[in-house]
Amino acid sequence: MPEFEGAVYIDSPIPAAVRQVSPFFRQGVFSNDRTPLFMRRRIGSGFGLLAGSRAGDMGIVPVGRAGAGRLPVRRGGAVFYPFNGQGNLHTVANRSYRHVLVLHGESNKRASARPAARLYDYICVAGDLAVDRYLSAGIFRQAEVESGRLIRVGDTFVQSLGNYRVDPDQGEAILYAPTWEGYGGTPNDHSSIASGGLAMADEALRLTGRDVLVIRPHPYLGLLRPTLVRSLLGDACRLARRRRVLFDLSDSNALVRGAVALALAAGRIGGARLGRASGRESVALCLCDVSAMESICLKARLPHVILPRNFRAPFRLKPFHDRKSAQDLEQLRRRLPPYLADPEATDTPHREQTFSVSHPDLAAAEGSTRIDRLLRIVADNEFWR
Question: pLDDT digits over 158-187, tens only?
Answer: 999 989 999 999 999 999 999 999 887 888
Using the predicted structure, report yes or no on whether residue 246 has a pLDDT greater than 50.
Answer: yes
Are 78 and 182 within one domain? no
Residue 179 belongs to some domain of the structure: yes
Question: pLDDT digits over 306-339, tens only?
Answer: 999 999 999 999 999 999 999 999 999 999 999 9
pLDDT at 74: 93
Are 254 and 173 within one domain? yes
Question: pLDDT digits over 88-97, tens only?
Answer: 888 998 999 9
Are 194 and 305 within one domain? yes
Q: Domain of 76: which CATH number?
A: 3.40.50
Are 201 and 67 within one domain? no
- Between residues 3 and 56, the one the model is more confident about: 3
For residue 201, give its domain range.
165-352
**What is the rounded distance in angstroms from the CA atom of residue 231 to the CA atom of residue 210?**
24
Are 344 and 373 within one domain? no
Give me the sign of the Cα torsion angle 24, 29, 106, 81.
positive
Are 243 and 307 within one domain? yes
Residue 186 belongs to some domain of the structure: yes
Are 240 and 303 within one domain? yes
Question: pLDDT digits over 250-270, tens only?
Answer: 889 899 999 999 888 876 645
Are 124 and 268 within one domain? no
Are 360 and 322 within one domain? no
Residue 194 belongs to some domain of the structure: yes
pLDDT at 184: 79
Average pLDDT, stretch 290-313? 96
Residue 385 belongs to some domain of the structure: no
Using the predicted structure, report yes or no on whether residue 239 has a pLDDT greater than 80.
Answer: yes
Could you give the percent of the chain with pLDDT greater than 90?
73
pLDDT at 50: 44
Q: Which residues of 206-224 are buried (b: 16+ CB within 10 A; e: fewer)?
A: eebebebbbbbbbbbbbbe
Q: Which residues of 244-269 are buried (b: 16+ CB within 10 A; e: fewer)?
A: bbbbbbebbbeebeebbeebbeebee
pLDDT at 48: 46
Residue 315 belongs to some domain of the structure: yes
**What is the rounded distance in angstroms from the CA atom of residue 57 to the CA atom of residue 147?**
36
Question: pLDDT digits over 269-281, tens only?
Answer: 456 789 999 989 9
Count of domains observed in the chain: 2
Average pLDDT, stretch 127-132? 96
Are 226 and 334 within one domain? yes
Identify the weakest region by mean pLDDT among 25-39, 57-71, 172-186, 230-244. Answer: 57-71
Residue 241 belongs to some domain of the structure: yes
Pseudo-torsion of CA 317, 322, 328, 330, nearest 10°?
Answer: -170
| Interacting residues of 154 by C-beta distance below 8 A, sequence separation 6+ | 126, 127, 355, 356, 357, 362, 363
Give the full edge-to-edge strand order of the sheet including 58-63. 53-55, 58-63, 37-40, 4-10, 73-81, 98-101, 122-125, 150-152
Are 261 and 318 within one domain? yes
Average pLDDT, stretch 77-99? 90
Are 367 and 230 within one domain? no
Average pLDDT, stretch 189-215? 96
Residue 329 belongs to some domain of the structure: yes
